A and B are shown apart, each in its own frame.
Chain A
């Protein structure tokens, strides 16, 4: 029952916004064409969040949190954007971006695992710190356009983002599901003392998780720069909340010990469809509502987040923790 809740919410959202969006479909082909471009838009738009949320899911599984994720992605983008947008970008900016990403992840991981700073405080600090570095790198410039991932928008008949997302969620997701690491992370999140007693190298695993999240932030930054034509010091402000909200909505527990990557996947889209739909329905809103519809977005995300956490703590848990990936 519970595993159908998220897809059901997503589908009803899509139906609702298509309905108020005032589209007329003359033929089934017409509808297909609309649907194809709609999903392609949605995917390219959500790709950065989806990638970041993958890493965040693992972090939340260990009972951690990473508030710095948006600043981190922005900083990586800023660093990469300071290079020329020609072919040399591939062997200059990209490796440097990756290196920066791993170092930032390592910073968070070391603060939490080695120096024993609570995750929420450590990453609140680095969130501000990384944002400061963004402005240091960029000044008040806004750079555009500098980088074009070939085939990002359309790769043959598929959006390139779809390829990357499938690779990450199916490939890495399956790998994670069958790996011993998953069991160790869940045990660390569920009961860190028991994890230590069970001979799990807790500190090393925590560092690995944050470094991995840094790597996902790098992929996310690549997607972000490929979609948006400009990067500035204040890019992506507030995105961390969207990422965390999506992961929690997906059923991963903030207290750690239980994670759901498929839930995260749906969680991201539920928020993205809401976001996109409200923007698309601005016309309908002006006619029918006394306030601007776009403001409603934050209200709804807030409600969804609280509702999601409530569901996770008050609905009975799915029994097979190990089975859901």
Chain B
């Protein structure tokens, strides 16, 4: 498609970024990103999960502000302080999670950001409103009933509606974040037809996607981010899938992964057969042995966390069986029962799913194991105190004391306190979901050596992580999930970054496999 239109970036760039940097509480998310975008040019923004793509989009659309650097838009320097201002300037971001009001009609959503036509006495002129909305939709080539409620639209229609809305506000720059993630094949094709048309009309776009073939077929230039740094910026003619992958991950395995344990396989701890839940994952079969760390890789949204939650009994499955040691878990077995059977789950979003932020460290840790010490439901007063002190020492949780509230701890210490909570139960099977996300490098190393120690002690670990280095460095074996299925199992020499990335997009075939 790019051949139809040659970018005019040399004339007058719509957008210029100079040295954009951003860090969140000391952790650097973007470092010195600079690129420019010409009229009608499409820039593909790619990178691993956590490479800084979302941060960049949020800075451009005014949700975050950059720490340093300059944004020049149509020749003048701007600071976008909120999304509404961005829209006024003509920068519209279409986020992955679409923002629309489900119980308003198409016309109301369309006109949400501007003044509505009024009748003489001040009431809303509905006929005119719907007429205007209809006209704009038709300009965009959309035939939607403007009286329809937004929540009744399909995912593709919502997407198109929000693009049409952005364009009706005279957007000159469209930022698309994973626009095809929830669309089917024909819908994707239709979307691309529309986008190509817009491109011809001179709308510039930043296109973010994990689907590399899409990026190759649609964009003019490619910008690769890795760990917040811009590692590549080249025209699409010079790009190929292997090169893009190399740029996305290409860094040497460093010494963050202190693997000291011998490979040792004990008895089977967990066996999953044909597990499925409608719309989340299908036909999942694998097993985890004692002393083994099994990595579960894949893109965000591939169904890994959903699978973990189902394994932990947080929601029921439609089909298949889970066998924990000798017992087949029935549908009555919930998370409470899983805990009794020595299975624990450390969820991905610790603030949402693990912690009560204003509870004390003491309460937060004790909740995991105090039932083991309770006599007739009562807990000996001194017990918790001793145990918590022991935990803080053993897991090296740095806090002012155990009555500090967990919300004020650093991410690493929060994560260690959650690990302390569960590991003091002496579990056999541990499911870790993104155990080192948002954790500083020192705490990351501590957590990694703790995991190594656990596996050496004969625990079975299922590690879900989007950090490729971690996945490759820690796991004995890697399962890769793609769109709700385990598509690939990688062992030994086949455990390479390229293979995991290819498998995550279901592109791994004997011919593409890099040996």
Contacts and interface: CB of A to CB of B under 8 A. Distances in A.
B265 interface: no
Interface string B360-378: 1011001110110010011
B409 interface: no
A321 B312 CA distance: 29
Interface string A184-219: 101100110110111111000000000000000000
B335 A194 contact: no
B359 A321 contact: yes
B335 A196 contact: yes
A322 B381 CA distance: 11
Nearest to B372: A180
A190 B363 CA distance: 12
Question: Which among B356, B359, B362, B367 has the highest number of chain A CB atoms within 10 Å?
Answer: B356
Contact of A199 (B336, B366, B378, B379): B336
B340 to A, nearest CB: 8
B379 A198 contact: no
B255 interface: no
Contacts of B374: 179-180
A119 interface: no
Contacts of A175: 378
A194 B353 contact: yes
Interface in A223-240: none
A322 B362 contact: yes
B403 interface: yes
A109 interface: no
A319 B405 contact: yes
A62 to B, nearest CB: 12
B377 A199 contact: no
Question: Which among B355, B360, B363, B368 has the highest number of chain A CB atoms within 10 Å?
Answer: B363
A187 B359 contact: yes
A317 interface: yes
A178 interface: yes
B406 to A, nearest CB: 10
A144 B377 CA distance: 43
Contacts of A178: 378-381
A292 interface: no
A201 B334 contact: yes
Given A180-B370, A194-B353, A257-B359, A200 B379 contact: no
A320 B381 CA distance: 14
A180 B371 contact: yes
10 contacts: A179-B377, A180-B370, A181-B377, A186-B359, A194-B354, A194-B356, A197-B353, A317-B358, A321-B360, A322-B362
Interface of A: 175, 178-181, 183-184, 186-187, 190-191, 193-194, 196-201, 257-258, 317, 319-322
Top 6 nearest A-B pairs (CB, nearest first) are A190-B356, A199-B339, A199-B335, A191-B356, A319-B403, A199-B336
